[in-house]
Amino acid sequence: MQEETQNNKDAEDVEGRQIRGYAIISKGDQPEIIDNETFVIPSQSCNGKYTIKIVRKQKKEEASCSCPDFQKRGISCKHIFAIRFWLKLKYQLAHQYTIEIEEPSKAQKCLYCASVKIVKNGKARNKQRLLCRSCGRTFVAEKDFRKYKASGKIITLAIDLYFKGVSLRKIKNHLKQFYNFEIDHSSVYRWIVHFTGMINNYAEQFTPKGSGMWKWTNRWSKRKANTSIAGML
């Protein structure tokens, strides 16, 4: 009976570490990559940092962390779970996700004189009517969209830059300058919201009993993604 009770307690401890690991990533903390096997992640309780090492040999994995919890118990801590989850997420983004994005093309021009001095002038049959201030004529706006395919690499880069504090407009400029990928900064923000939601949905399936802390963290991370836009523009 005592052995069964201890096993249940150990299982709950492991599950709790998993949840806390997912919480670290879902609220935006980004690990620092030292090399292919070594990562640094901020402490959640102080200003320090911990070094995590994950070595894969064939089908086996050896993981270690410099935090007190791992040093004392010798089992996977929340920082190790955070790195595992982060690596898995980056792999999925890089290999499985390609998103088509529709963006308006260049500024609408007058159909009669090609002037760009146009303003909205009501609607006709649920379509936007425009008024040309140059020639005074009105016409119905035609949607002119260009489709972009964003690779997982581009999406991952944009999300990494965002959580490192880079503004949405600077991310947009970076993608244009180094990857020749044009996109509106508002679309970058939609990526953030989409994939933050994906992280939360994935992690929710591991919610343990007495999960008040996790629910609070989950709400906090969603609120962060939704309220950061003003400060990141």
Domain boundary pick from 124, 143, 162: 143
Q: Is 201 or 164 the better-scoring residue by pLDDT?
A: 164
Listed range (128-132, 159-163, 172-176, 224-228) with the worst mean pLDDT? 224-228
Of 16, 80, 28, 15, the C-alpha closest to 200 is 28
Q: Is 183 or 68 the better-scoring residue by pLDDT?
A: 68
Task: Return mean pLDDT, the chain.
Answer: 73
Q: What is the mean pLDDT of residues 118-128?
A: 77
Given this model, what pLDDT does residue 112 score? Answer: 81
Q: Do the domain assignments include residue 200?
A: yes
Given this model, what pLDDT does residue 59 score? Answer: 79
For residue 112, the enclosing domain spans 106-143
Phi, psi of 167 (to 5 degrees): -70, 160
Spatial separation of the C-alpha atoms in residues 169 and 49, rounded to whole Å: 30
Percentage of the chain beyond pLDDT 70 is 64
Q: Is 196 or 109 the better-scoring residue by pLDDT?
A: 109
Is the pLDDT confidence value at 147 over 60?
no
Listed range (63-67, 70-74, 124-128, 212-216) with the worst mean pLDDT? 212-216
Q: What is the mean pLDDT of residues 154-180?
A: 81
Is the pLDDT confidence value at 120 over 90?
no
What pTM was computed for the model? Answer: 0.46
Q: Do the domain assignments include residue 233?
A: no
Q: Is 175 or 1 the better-scoring residue by pLDDT?
A: 175
Given this model, what pLDDT does residue 94 score? Answer: 65
Q: Do the domain assignments include residue 119?
A: yes
Of 204, 148, 189, 158, the C-alpha closest to 18 is 204
**Is 48 in the same domain as 111?**
no
Q: Do the domain assignments include residue 232?
A: no
Given this model, what pLDDT does residue 79 score? Answer: 94
Is the pLDDT confidence value at 170 over 70?
yes
**Is 115 in the same domain as 58?**
no
**Is 150 in the same domain as 43?**
yes
Q: What is the mean pLDDT of residues 1-22?
A: 64
**Beta bridge pairs of residue 148:** 101
**Is 218 in the same domain as 116?**
no
Given this model, what pLDDT does residue 219 score? Answer: 47
Q: Is 232 or 143 the better-scoring residue by pLDDT?
A: 143
Asked if residues 220 and 24 have their Cβ atoms less than 8 Å apart, the reply is no
Q: Do the domain assignments include residue 203?
A: yes
Given this model, what pLDDT does residue 190 score? Answer: 81
